[in-house]
Amino acid sequence: MTVPASQVGPLHGLRVIDASQGAVGPWAGALLGQLGADVLKLESPEGDFIRAVKPEKRGLSSTYISVNSCKRAITLNLKDPQQLAQAHQLVQQADVLIENFRPGVADRIGIGYGTLSALNPRLIYASASGFGPRGPMATLGATDPHIQAFSGSCSVNGEPGGLRQRWRWYGHFDVNTAVHIVQSVMAALFERERTGKGQLLEITMIEAGLDLQRIRVTEHLAGQPPVPMGSATTYLVPDQSFATQDRPIAVSATSPRQWRALCEVLGLAELITDPRFARNPDRVRHRSELIDRLQAVFKTRPMQHWLERLRGAHVPCAAFATFDDNRWHQHYLDNGMIRNHDSAWGTLCLCDPPWTFSLTPAHLRPASQPGEFTREILDGRWPSLTEPSGRQAR
């Protein structure tokens, strides 16, 4: 695999070993890869457990393919002293290592922070876990729905008075933790520029999950315990979905101008000066009676009618789209947000990187086959992505 110089990205030259499994660590590695880092996906002969997750694309999990884009996959048996030594040689050339084993496992298999930092004092070692390295739950494994439940997220999800929703989308907290890993790695690299030293980073799914809920936690500490509110929010009214004659629509009024425009579109101009609804704090206090008034009008016309009129009045609104809607939507196409990529698994339709750099653009490359680059990397001592195989970048 050789990457054209025009596609090197802002992190070109950064070398990352992704020894993680599942989604949390691997997606962090994929994001660094999209930014131009040279990322090795290090797996044991048994392979990443996420390979077993359905559906499949030509025999390999689509989830695995997605979260391992922009990497070169290698296979090493760290229980074999010779192959562990090969892993250590790669670590000496690396800038970053990502792992998400349960606390103590990395040390046991020979790739703990103490061992690797002695080999490479400049190494940024990102260790992700569900519950953290200390405490009664430290040794427990965790997946996305467990963290959603334990972090309190489920306590505010669901319909008022109804059953709590365990999760809205499986993977939301995984991806959020991965973003926190990338942020911490970038900050540590910045610090290394000043000190020349690497360091240990500990990122937990629990803390990343609490980070998502800062407003809810603050409300609770201020004496207003959050409760399930369906699609509505605690601090802004209206800001939720409404049923129409056919399909639901999401509508928000975040400013006085938008509130006035919404009332005019709905033919409810009398609400603009009604003291119960004139200001957002008033609307929050009188939420129930206001929502009933708005909902009654939304039900009289189809969603597309309201969508066009609200957009014309510059009131924030959106239809509830599917992934297939987005795939063919002109806005997505014009901005190149979703593209087709040729790969070993045929044509893949993938979301482009979420950043745009004017000088060093980020790029997405489909994942490699498990273990595909083992021989090349070991023989060439980690040749650069931008150079022919076998040549060293350093």
Instruction: Show which residues are catalytic.
Output: 174
pLDDT tens digit sequence for 236-294: 999 999 999 999 999 999 999 999 999 999 999 999 999 999 999 999 999 999 999 99
Say if residues 307 and 319 touch (Cβ distance below 8 Å).
Answer: yes
Q: How many CA atoms lie within 13 A of 177 on its CB side?
A: 34
List the end-to-end C-alpha distance of the chain, in Å, as a whole number.
18
Provide the strand spans (E) within 308-353: 317-319, 338-343, 346-351
* Residue whose C-alpha is closest to residue 22's, from 171, 196, 134: 171
For the segment 142-148, the average pLDDT, to the nearest whole number, is 79
For residue 387, pLDDT over 70 is answered with no
- DSSP secondary structure letter of residue 392: B
For every residue of 66-135, DSSP letters joined together read HHTTTEEEEE--TTSHHHHHHHHHHHHH-SEEEE-PPTTHHHHTT--HHHHHHH-TT-EEEEEESS-SSS
137 pLDDT higher than 80: no
Quick one: which of 179, 202, 175, 23 has its CA closest to 103? Answer: 202
pLDDT at residue number 164: 65
Average pLDDT, the chain: 89
Is 226:220 a contact under the CB 8 Å cutoff? yes
Cα(175)–Cα(178) distance, rounded to whole angstroms? Answer: 5
5-213+330-380 under CATH 3.60.20.10, yes or no: no
Pick the CATH number of 249-319 from 3.40.140.80, 2.40.110.20, 3.30.1540.10, 3.40.50.1820: 3.30.1540.10
User: What is the average pLDDT across 187-210?
Assistant: 94
Q: What is the pLDDT of residue 7?
A: 65
What is the pLDDT at residue 16? 98
Domain residue ranges of the chain, discontinuous segments joined by +: 5-213+330-380, 249-319
pTM of the model: 0.88
| pLDDT tens profile 306-320 | 999 999 999 999 999
Which segments of 151-255 does DSSP mark as H helices, in order? Answer: 172-195, 205-212, 214-221
pLDDT category of residue 102 using cuts at 50, 70 and 90: confident
